[in-house]
Amino acid sequence: MSLEFLVATGIGAVTSTGIYLVLRGRTWPVVMGLCLLGYAVNFFIFAMGRLWQDAAPILSAIDRVADPLPQALVLTAIVIGFATTGFVIELALRNRHESGTDHVDGHEPGHSKPHVQGDGV
């Protein structure tokens, strides 16, 4: 079994778990699914950059040079993903406060009308 197969299988497992969680009916599994999808994409980008041993990270006279672009992209994606996750959690909490439920559609299955707290303003 090759290392490439193991990496591809791991990325596929994290991606499929993330998709399964995004398709759930509650907000917390959706948030966790979005996080897992972000991790899968980051790992995919990082794996595409290859891991080099004893290679300079910048251009020099050495023949083997590591590509720093995938590492920079993943580092930037981690920061942006963290901020986006915080924003989505805040939206989920606000939706829970406004609708009285944490269901993604805003109402529980089997109920005809969503429960709204307050005067609706």
Instruction: Give residue 79's Cα distance to chain centre.
Output: 12
**pLDDT tens-digit map of 47-67:** 887 766 676 666 666 676 777
Q: What is the pLDDT of residue 26?
A: 87
The mean pLDDT value for 27-56 works out to 85
Percent helix, strand, coil in the chain, to 5, is: 60, 5, 35
- Judged against a pLDDT cut of 60, whether residue 121 lies above it is answered with no
Q: Are 30 and 19 in contact (CB under 8 A)?
A: no
**Token pair of 72 as six digits:** 């920079």
The mean pLDDT value for 70-82 works out to 90
Distance (Å, whole) CA 114 – CA 107:
5
Sign of CA dihedral 90, 96, 102, 107: negative
Distance (Å, whole) CA 2 – CA 112:
54
Better-scored residue on pLDDT, 114 or 87: 87
